[in-house]
């Protein structure tokens, strides 16, 4: 049984190389190597395929929200449900 011939590999698509990226918070242009926006001061991530900087996931904000909700639920239980 003969093996089918392998198809030639498709031509490589050139990837875009950016020199600047756009801040997702204030829409200003920032150098690609910068990790903090000069205009608004927020942390930004790497550039995506469209030229925008990615937003960095802020663990501390989510952790603070979870702790605040836990404190509120504890207070609600203590104030209204416990006897």
* CA distances for 25 relative to 31, 56, 62, 73, 74, angstroms: 15, 11, 18, 32, 35
DSSP lists the bridge partners of residue 53 as 47
Contacts of 12 (CB under 8 A, 6+ apart): none
**pLDDT, tens only, 34-46:** 999 999 999 999 9
Contacts of 6 (CB under 8 A, 6+ apart): none
pLDDT digits (tens, 9 = 90+) for 4-35: 666 655 555 455 788 999 999 999 999 999 99
Q: What is the pTM of this model?
A: 0.58
């Amino acid at each position: 049984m003969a093996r089918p011939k392998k198809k030639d590999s498709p031509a490589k698509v050139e990837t875009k190389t950016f020199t600047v990226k756009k801040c997702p918070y204030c829409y200003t242009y920032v150098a690609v190597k910068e990790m903090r926006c000069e205009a608004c001061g927020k942390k930004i991530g790497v550039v995506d395929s469209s030229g925008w900087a990615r937003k960095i996931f802020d663990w501390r904000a989510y952790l603070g929200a979870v702790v605040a909700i836990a404190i509120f639920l504890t207070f609600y239980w203590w104030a209204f449900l416990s006897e």
